Structure 1
Amino acid sequence: MDSNANCEYLRYISDTADPKEVLRELMIQYGNDVWNYAYSMTRKWEVADDISQEVFIKVYKNLFTFRNEASVKTWLLKITRNTVLDYKKSAFFRRVTLVDYISAKGTESSAEAEVIEKMAVNDIWKQVLKLPPKYREVLILYGHYQLSMREIADLLGVSEGTVKSRLHHARAKVIKLKESEIHGSA
């Protein structure tokens, strides 16, 4: 859906349904996008689940504050991003990350890690997930969610030039990671 269609879609379901119905429609339409974006930023299944739930709770509470300044998808992804950033600032996240790091040092691969590995069949996706967050984020927003440079800039709170620069550097880093993988295994 383009931006105008998204705005019309939200306006239509807002005018014709109760807030619970609007939320249900948004979850059906955009739930996977929200979860995938949360996962791409945290790289943890259970955290992505929690953040997705938190996002839709926030959406429900603030449903009628949508100002039609961006597409519905961009609005939801911005809420997702802010929720992830808030989560990462919390003491809980720092403790869990430290525990994950320590427990991963001397243990075998968990079943969850094996499933994630199998799901990450696409080599490029593996490389993207290795990137630092600021590069990973622009690649995912641009490539997967197909947001425009302006939408990405608005979502991240940076200039379009910064988005273009990060996108350029992200692509270069993916190529470099791929090349080092090829030369390292040869």
Structure 2
Amino acid sequence: MEHKVIENCNHDEIDYVIREHWQDVWNYSFIITKDTHLSDDITQEVFIKVFKKWNSFRNESSVKTWLLKITRNTALNYLKSSYFKRISLVSFFRNDKEYPSAEKQFLEKETMNEVWDSVLKLPQKHREVLILDAKYELSYDEIAETLGVSIGTVKSRLHRARARVSKILAEDEL
């Protein structure tokens, strides 16, 4: 359904897209803004824009890529137009189906927090590319389209981001 050409404003399709992607939209806006309340506002605005512009989706990319591009532009516009406070990143995803011990949960949370802390130290252009690759599993083409840069730029930013995160984590271990 995601790659289907959207010709009419079908409420069932919009409901599906919202249910399927709202968390990705919220997470991505949070990665950009680092503000939970602002991310709530941005997520709402993104889906209002999607509803209004539903017929303008040209099927040149996946719906997810289209949504993330709208999210990025909306979040950056919010940052340009308003002041917001930086809040530390909270671990927002966990896919364990088992019930790990309290010790294992603590260690995993600490490790995840260390990784996210190092990711947050990156410049935004490197942080975005890393998140779109690692978290959202977008292809280089999709990342390039979302960010409005070339594939070569995506590859070099991703390489630099990974190297910098590794360096930060190694320094923190010392």
The one of 2, 18, 26 aligned to 1:6: 2
Q: Is the 8 A contact 1:19 1:60 kept in 2?
A: no
The one of 25, 47, 72 aligned to 1:81: 72
Which residue does the alignment assign to 2:126?
A: 135
SS of residue in 2 equivalent to 1:7 = coil
Identical-residue share of aligned pairs (%): 47
* Stretch of structure 1 that moved more, 142-151 or 123-132: 123-132
TM-superposition CA deviations, 1:104-126 (whole Å, max 9, x none):
xxxxxxxx86x937986403222
Unaligned 5+ residue runs, structure 1? 101-111
Residues 145-164 of structure 1 mapped to structure 2, 5 A cutoff: 145-164=136-155
SS of residue in 1 equivalent to 2:118 = helix
Change (3 A) 1:179 1:151: same
Question: Does 1:56 pair with 2:47?
Answer: yes
> By how many angstroms is 1:60 displaced?
0.6
Change (3 A) 1:154 1:46: same
Task: Give the structure with higher Rg (CA).
Answer: 1
TM-score, with length taken from structure 1 = 0.76
Task: Give the Cα separation in 2 of the matches to 1:124 and 1:146.
Answer: 17
The one of 116, 128, 131 aligned to 2:90: 116
Residues 30-49 of structure 1 mapped to structure 2, 5 A cutoff: 30-49=21-40
SS of residue in 2 equivalent to 1:6 = coil
Which residue does the alignment assign to 1:167?
A: 158
TM-superposition CA deviations, 1:61-100 (whole Å, max 9, x none):
101100000000000000000001111110x22xx34xx6
Task: Give the Cα separation in 2 of the matches to 1:53 and 1:117.
Answer: 21
Higher RCO, Cα 8 Å, sep 6+: 2
Change (3 A) 1:118 1:74: closer
Q: How many corresponding residue pairs?
A: 157
Which residue does the alignment assign to 1:106?
A: none
Which residue does the alignment assign to 1:26?
A: 17
> By how many angstroms is 1:129 displaced?
2.0
Q: Which amino acid aligns with 1:34?
A: V
